[in-house]
Amino acid sequence: MIKMIALDLDNTLLNSQKEISPANERALKRLHESGIKVVLCTGRPINAIGHYIDQLDLHQPYDFTITFNGGLVVNNQTKQPLYAQGTTKADLQAVYDYLRSQGLPMDVLDFDRVYELTELGPTRYKGTVKNIEFVDTTMADLPGAEHPFAKAVLATEPAKVTQAKAQVPAAVTAKLRVVQSQPHILEFLPLGVNKMVGLNHLLAHFGWQAAELMTFGDADNDLEMIIGAGDGVVMANGLPAVKAVADHLTTSNDEDGVANYLTKTFVKELQ
């Protein structure tokens, strides 16, 4: 029996206007009210998706969100972490060296804010992520020592992201995991971090198994949670490699794909 539904946001739960459609909202609210956990899974910090949490009314004492692609599991009410894993400035140096050599921009996130590295030029990340503090700084002035960072991000034109992803050097992949979360965003995550890692910690918190988990996704950074769930569902607009490992496919994010699948699966709860 499915006890938890975990959903990627961009190009999965959200339509092309970055909205949760009325059909998706209605289905998820009813399932949440019936006792099924609804968990948003995103690369963004929780402050940047507060309006989606509000829309779905995910404010019960045991509601959680998976943020930073699994690097942080946080309680929606208290904002206290259940699990956190970051990386260091030293590990991010290889990303900086690579992106600088290619004339590409870079943003670095800790668990509270975004550091925009001004010496590498303008980035598109500020136009993508809202409701989080952006700080202009340089690589040299980033907090050092043991300060934990959630990830680094390349946010630029999709063609440049595709080219950069294909050419990431071994010096980077030896220390960080590289995933494309949107056409214009390439993310550099701590090794061992993915959405399923965060979900496994959350499942353990409730004493549940992965077989009791349903996941929805479309992109590279959803791959592990699609494979690891009892029912991994991929959108019609998903990447071919992600579709290939799905248990089921549904319609696109602009066709209420989440609600369409839930309605067929939870007939009694949503009739």
Q: Is the pLDDT of residue 129 over 90?
A: no
| Mean pLDDT, rounded, of the chain | 95
Half-sphere exposure for 249 (CA within 13 Å, toward CB): 12
3-state helix, strand and coil shares in percent for the chain, rounded to the nearest 5:
40, 25, 35
Task: Note the pLDDT of residue 95.
Answer: 97
Separation CA 145–CA 208 (nearest Å):
37
Task: Note the pLDDT of residue 182.
Answer: 87
Q: Is the dihedral of CA 185, 82, 19, 27 positive or negative?
A: positive
Of 45, 41, 62, 63, the closest CA to residue 54 belongs to 63
CATH homologous superfamily of 4-84+193-270 equals HAD superfamily/HAD-like (3.40.50.1000)
| Angle at 123 (CA atoms; ends 87, 178), nearest 5 degrees | 40
CATH code of domain 89-190: 3.30.1240.10
Separation CA 85–CA 68 (nearest Å):
10
Of 39, 50, 41, the closest CA to residue 131 belongs to 50
Separation CA 96–CA 57 (nearest Å):
39
Task: Note the pLDDT of residue 271.
Answer: 79
Q: Which residues are catalytic?
A: 8
Do 45 and 111 meet the contact criterion of CB atoms below 8 Å apart? yes
Task: Note the pLDDT of residue 37.
Answer: 98
Of 38, 73, 85, the closest CA to residue 216 belongs to 38
pLDDT in tens, 20-74: 999 999 999 999 999 999 999 998 889 889 999 999 999 999 999 999 999 999 9
Task: Note the pLDDT of residue 268.
Answer: 87
Say which DSSP state 179 is in: E
* Coil, strand or helix at 109: strand
Q: Is the pLDDT of residue 145 over 80?
A: no
Separation CA 165–CA 180 (nearest Å):
8
Going from N- to C-terminal start, the domains of the chain cover 4-84+193-270, 89-190
Instruction: Classify 18 in phi/psi space as left (phi over 0), alpha (psi -120 to 50) or beta.
Output: left
pLDDT in tens, 180-234: 988 999 999 999 999 999 999 999 999 999 999 999 999 999 999 999 999 999 9
Q: Band of the pLDDT at 132, cuts 50, 70, 90?
A: confident
Q: Band of the pLDDT at 146, cuts 50, 70, 90?
A: confident
pLDDT in tens, 62-120: 999 999 999 999 999 999 999 999 999 999 999 999 999 999 999 999 988 999 999 99
Task: Note the pLDDT of residue 255.
Answer: 98
